[in-house]
Structure 1
Amino acid sequence: MSYLAIKAWHLIWMVCWFAGLFYLPRLYVYHAMLPPEDGAGHERFVLMERKLFWGITTPAAVLTIGFGLWLLAAGGWALYSKMGWLHLKLALVALLVVYHVWCYRYLRAFRELTNTRTHRWFRWFNEAPVIVLIAVVLLASLKPF
């Protein structure tokens, strides 16, 4: 596969990963707003959250990282030691993986009825990947250092 094809697949899966990371916390916002006695609503959200996390978000994360590593290997590892922007981008990706795991912890908390966060908290939590996305796209596009 050509370098540009690998890059295209990396970008496609990155978009899918971010779509999941944008939508999952939004589901948490609505789930946190449910009254405690709404068992059917709770089950519906648990199902939607699980399918989104395991069916789209996590596979997209794995494929994004896999194609990213393939890009690194295809481009020659030695070249990247001189690219500071890439080191920062990889640090942000690591931070995004931590956020992904954090989302999983909330997935479990909602399923087990142990979530203590409010819908307002999840509204703010939902904004974190936006900041990372902006930084990653700017770094990869502009290569400032």
Structure 2
Amino acid sequence: MSDALITLYPWIKAFHIMAVMSWMAGLFYLPRLYVYHVERAGEVKGAGAIFDTMEYKLLRFIMRPAMFASWILGLLLVATPGIVDWSWIWPWTKGAAVLAMTGFHMWLAARRRDFEQGRNRLTGRQYRIMNEVPTVLMAVIVISVVVKF
């Protein structure tokens, strides 16, 4: 198995990067949709249902598969011999940030259910602030992997 992982490493890494990019795009866009949902859905009849559909499809058909692919491919990268030295700090900071990003993904999914059930209590401003979370986590992950402190 380890020989196969070493041979396939460039391919796994390439697909991992693509999956992460797709996941991050959704993590950046979904909170912004929530801002517009809160602030603009009441202006046009039926807009709330349109936002519900857009949010559901983004989460279900783009973000969730991208998150699973990111995790699976990332774990394959970690399992590749010689890639991760666990005595360094960077794999731990990256891992913590990925767990936090997954938690944020789940938080976004819970907020979508709130919208769907008419229970949203957050404001557009609060969603704008939460929209910064994936940026901070992305910075931690990229610096951890590139700088390898």
Compute the TM-score of the two structures, normalised by the length of structure 2.
Answer: 0.90
Q: Which residue is 1:86 aligned to?
A: 91
Find the partner of 1:126 among 128, 131, 134.
131
Q: What is the count of residue pairs matched by the alignment?
A: 143
1:50 maps onto 2:53 in alignment: no
**Gaps in structure 2 of 5+ consecutive residues:** 1-6
Contact preservation (8 Å) 2:19, 2:67: yes
Instruction: State the partner residue of 1:106.
Output: 111
Which residue of structure 2 lines up, in the alignment, with residue 28 of structure 1?
Answer: 34
Equivalence for 2:140: 135
Does residue 115 of structure 1 match 2:120? yes
Query: After the TM superposition, which of the residue ranges 133-142 and 68-77 deviates more from structure 2?
Result: 68-77
Shift of the alpha carbon at 1:35? 5.4
User: Which residue is 2:4 aligned to?
Assistant: none
- Are the counterparts in 1 of residues 39 and 124 from structure 2 also a CA contact under 8 Å? yes
Partner Cα distance (1:62, 1:7) in 2: 15
Aligned to 2:79: 73
Moved more, 96-105 or 31-40: 31-40
Gap change, CA 1:37 and 1:26, over 3 Å in 2: closer
The TM-score with structure 1 as length reference comes to: 0.92
Cα deviation, 1:100-127, whole Å, max 9, x if unaligned, reads 0000010000011100111011010111
Counterpart pick for 2:18 among 12, 17, 28: 12
- Cα RMSD for the two superposed structures: 1.6
Q: Does 1:95 align with 2:100?
A: yes
Matched residues in 1 for 2:52 and 2:81: separation?
42
Report the alpha carbon displacement of residue 75 of structure 1 after superposing the two structures with TM.
Answer: 2.6
